[in-house]
Amino acid sequence: MQSAHPPVRPAALVFGGSRGIGAAVALRLAREGHAVALTYVSRPDKAAEVVAAIQAEGGQALAIQADSADADAIAHAVDSAVAQFGPLQVAVVNAGVYRGAPLAQFPLQMLDQMLAVNVRGVFLAIQAAAAQLRDGGRLITIGSNTAVRGGVVGSSVYAMTKSAVATLVRELALDLAPRRITINNVQPGPIETDITADVLDMLVQRNPLGRVGQPQEVAGLVAYLAGPEAGYMTGASLTLDGGWVI
């Protein structure tokens, strides 16, 4: 006799899950059987589209407004996700900003914004999520191949922030190991999103594989890291960029 109650889905939280890579990750985790909460900053319409797409496939989803530069908003997002879906099994920290300028023209405000979101915000999201993760859970950050090599004038500060994320993940693996929580960092290269739409031709020409990546390809790697087969990998940074940094 079947139970009258459907099985409880493991909970996942995707910071920055309304567009591009984050949206693809949210959809993939939902297809892998997770109930997915996702955060957005300024596009509730895009977040609602992701939620609707997940629900249309029979999944569970929740959109939460949260600025990743705001510590209180990050904590509220975690609390809201747990209140809706229970303790987290997976947390993906995808929120980030890119601003570029040559050294002489790089304003302090731009520097502060990128450090606040890409470094401070990532740390705070990991810290808040880890407190609500089940033992044996998964933490995954979305970094960038610029942590290895950028090669574009004006990208120095962005590359610095992504190098900081890679280092943070490597060292936090030791903090989280006693709870069997793994933490890994995915470093995409050029991916076809609204952010890269204006420079796609240049990116394709420079890439050894002659193309850019798709958000679904990044989501596939995240799904692997979130699954049982990746339980022995932690503290790693995995680059998928078509050979850009070779």
Give, in order, the Cα–Cα distances in Å from 225 to each of 13, 139, 210, 219.
14, 9, 27, 10
User: Is 98 a catalytic site residue?
Assistant: no
The one catalytic residue in 40, 98, 158, 232 is 158
Q: What is the DSSP string of 20-85?
A: HHHHHHHHHHHHTT-EEEEEESS-HHHHHHHHHHHHHTT--EEEEE--TT-HHHHHHHHHHHHHHH
Tokens of 48: 């609602």
Nearest to 39 by CA among 20, 66, 21: 66
Sign of CA dihedral 205, 211, 217, 219: positive
For the annotated catalytic residues, the residue numbers are 158
